[in-house]
Structure 1
């Protein structure tokens, strides 16, 4: 039994931000009903692996473990169906352009009038209030407007977005956290509440240390330059014979063993590198020296050397290497789900382990609207009514 067993979530979201929050709640045991536009569905269904492989990884990743109903929320009958569903639900999730749900007559005020216990979670790009509240956007807007892209790459290089939808995923975690907190608050107050998150707001929160540094100094923290601008240590990536290796700082007690295991004891006696904290210039000089040493061996060879010496490191890996690591499987970070047409598909597992109520990745969400009739019958609609809804285009 999952931690959210007995909780019902209506996922009216699209793409990543809202659906990923709902997927995590499904992994936690919630009954998640995905509400999609008839005939088209979530836009994520139409983002393929490639031009020749039309399978939809964004949709699959963010919608496992859910039931699917197709309801046109823009139509009066569709609106009433959704409100009937809301009466049975604990949580509603959406991440349309700001004001969209309101324009359909499905604002928090209208929904909570039917169910005062509802947790009404919305995700936007720039936030729910202010001059940009109604602007559209996507993950890249969150990365750019939130300042993240200003920290990536190297000095003098072009702005470089993170290569995954990181703004969406961080916002989805913010949304899930807000929903869980609202559920706890409801257990004592008896009332639901509105939960608002945004891509930009979550990006700023994810850079809390860097924004604090800027607030203190007034200086932009700078680009990552193979490491981190605020960590004044051997905290960077170096090239190896066949790839790259991340050094995760070398604390003072580990320095003698570190320099000995890489056959550079002279660096340990170099006064430039003797301090606890390095200036940017000294850090760059150490990086240059180590970048001469590590290409002498392969990444795997260096991992063995550093592991035996008790050092802090990590290989820079591609997805195939991550998928081949038993550590990832043993912790449940990766999983295999069966698809009725594609067979076994390896994908992300769950990031949280719970001893009493373990998370479990749900099965694939298959056809658009496959559960519509069943869910409507659960609401008390007769078959003749469902056929009338279908004729009117409401489902």
Structure 2
């Protein structure tokens, strides 16, 4: 069996953060039943450009592989009845909605415990289910601004800068997945479920980590650094070579000593201006221009090869294409393929979550309502008459 093959999750999810969290659980074998609102054509992720046609998009494929889909209108009594039957046979209800919405639509633990006292209700919201921003929509860009990330990112003379990836969304998905699994573990042990109140805001604040600790305890005020330099470890930053950029990092003293040999300045290893972390930090305005001149003398490859041979942390600054063709990417089986009726073979990156020796298998993202027959018939035991009745009562909305 796959690690999570005995876990069933009813996912009232949409867009990026929520689906990103549950896709890794689905990859590990969990049955993720994706509830899609027929009033809006299902998950909005199905329509994200530029690679979208009809109800299919490559964006949706990236976040929803290995899941099942059921088109269900929770605002109708019939749709709610189907949802409640799913709760009875589920382990968790997982959602990513605005903070006040789970209570409004009745998907919190108090709303559902009479159906299944062991149900875990994991809500990934923008700002949490309490607090003054509870009712505000939360998006990655907004959270990067509010939590101080953008103020930390970019060159000193440039504007505040967003990360090139939606890191609050993706980190929030991982946090929600951890919370959900912890809740299920406790519910199976104790026989009682719970709410998991997870938010993008909490995630973004939590990821401030040591700069927050430095500020809270020593008054540290972070500043943006030139060429993405580390705030205290020197050198640990991007350097420009003849034909591109590379990163060189001396996070330990031994790396600095090795670097001085590679750049043919062995005397700097014991130079009192540069010998220790503190010396190099104190004299960074002297040392870094010297290093920049040296790295500009050769190509990226001419530097990366000897630095790697000397076990100095280094890497070329790849573009996305180079990262996807990096030999280590291929060696780690990080590119996977699924077959899709519209797109044919779809290539995407694998989940980084690894459990045991067995490799995950991958199935394309579901078409909307694709799994209705199996879920309604096999799982819930509805006969054709019951399905017809529910359809007439609007449980499934306008079907694709």
Relative to structure 1, is the Cα distance of residues 218 and 40 closer, same or farther in structure 2, using a 3 angstrom cutoff? Answer: same
State how far apart, in whole Å, the 1-side matches of 2:229 and 2:192 are.
44
Q: Kindly state the Cα deviation for residue 2 of structure 1 after the two structures are TM-superposed.
A: 1.5
Which is worse superposed, 244-253 or 164-173?
244-253
Relative to structure 1, is the Cα distance of residues 20 and 256 closer, same or farther in structure 2, using a 3 angstrom cutoff? Answer: closer
State how far apart, in whole Å, the 2-side matches of 1:146 and 1:173 are.
18
Q: Which residue of 2 aligns with 1:360?
A: 360
Which runs of 5 or more structure 2 residues have no equivalent in the other structure? none
State how far apart, in whole Å, the 2-side matches of 1:143 and 1:278 are.
33
Q: Which residue of 2 aligns with 1:313?
A: 314
Task: List per-residue Cα deviations over 1:150-206 (Å, max 9, x = no partner).
Answer: 211122321100011110111111111111111221232111111111111111112
State how far apart, in whole Å, the 2-side matches of 1:388 and 1:353 are.
43
Relative to structure 1, is the Cα distance of residues 56 and 292 closer, same or farther in structure 2, using a 3 angstrom cutoff? Answer: farther
Alpha carbons 1:248, 1:312 under 8 Å: kept: yes
Show the 5 A alignment for 1:261-280.
261-265=262-266, 267-268=268-269, 270-278=271-279
Q: Which residue of 2 aligns with 1:239?
A: 240
Which is worse superposed, 162-171 or 260-269?
260-269
Residue 167, structure 1, aligned to residue 165, structure 2: no
Q: Which residue of 1 aligns with 2:223?
A: 222
Q: Which residue of 1 aligns with 2:15?
A: 15
Relative to structure 1, is the Cα distance of residues 305 and 383 closer, same or farther in structure 2, using a 3 angstrom cutoff? Answer: same
Show the 5 A alignment for 1:161-310.
161-249=162-250, 251-265=252-266, 267-268=268-269, 270-278=271-279, 282-310=283-311
Q: Which residue of 1 aligns with 2:63?
A: 62
State how far apart, in whole Å, the 1-side matches of 2:198 and 2:11 are.
15
Relative to structure 1, is the Cα distance of residues 75 and 342 closer, same or farther in structure 2, using a 3 angstrom cutoff? Answer: same
Alpha carbons 1:149, 1:162 under 8 Å: kept: yes
Q: Kindly state the Cα deviation for residue 107 of structure 1 after the two structures are TM-superposed.
A: 3.0
Residue 388, structure 1, aligned to residue 389, structure 2: yes
Q: Normalised by the size of structure 2, how large is the TM-score?
A: 0.91
Which is worse superposed, 327-336 or 6-15?
327-336
Alpha carbons 1:108, 1:120 under 8 Å: kept: yes
Q: Which residue of 1 aligns with 2:375?
A: 375
- For this pair of structures, how many residues does the alignment match? 394
> Which secondary structure state, in structure 2, belongs to the residue aligned with residue 287 of structure 1?
helix
Relative to structure 1, is the Cα distance of residues 158 and 254 closer, same or farther in structure 2, using a 3 angstrom cutoff? Answer: closer
Q: Which residue of 1 aligns with 2:2?
A: 2
Q: Kindly state the Cα deviation for residue 250 of structure 1 after the two structures are TM-superposed.
A: 5.8
Alpha carbons 2:47, 2:54 under 8 Å: kept: no
User: What is the aligned-residue RMSD (CA, Å)?
Assistant: 2.3
Task: List per-residue Cα deviations over 1:22-74 (Å, max 9, x = no partner).
Answer: 11111111111111012611111111235899963332111110011000111
State how far apart, in whole Å, the 1-side matches of 2:52 and 2:58 are.
13
State how far apart, in whole Å, the 1-side matches of 2:215 and 2:59 are.
35
Residue 348, structure 1, aligned to residue 349, structure 2: yes
Q: Kindly state the Cα deviation for residue 363 of structure 1 after the two structures are TM-superposed.
A: 0.9
Q: Which residue of 2 aligns with 1:31?
A: 31
Which is worse superposed, 346-355 or 265-274?
265-274
> Which secondary structure state, in structure 2, belongs to the residue aligned with residue 273 of structure 1?
coil
State how far apart, in whole Å, the 1-side matches of 2:54 and 2:330 are.
26
Q: Which residue of 2 aligns with 1:47?
A: 48
Relative to structure 1, is the Cα distance of residues 135 and 254 closer, same or farther in structure 2, using a 3 angstrom cutoff? Answer: closer
Which is worse superposed, 185-194 or 84-93?
185-194
Q: Kindly state the Cα deviation for residue 126 of structure 1 after the two structures are TM-superposed.
A: 1.4
Task: List per-residue Cα deviations over 1:281-338 (Å, max 9, x = no partner).
Answer: 6224322222222222222221111122221112211121111123223323332233
State how far apart, in whole Å, the 2-side matches of 1:287 and 1:335 are.
41
> Which secondary structure state, in structure 2, belongs to the residue aligned with residue 246 of structure 1?
strand
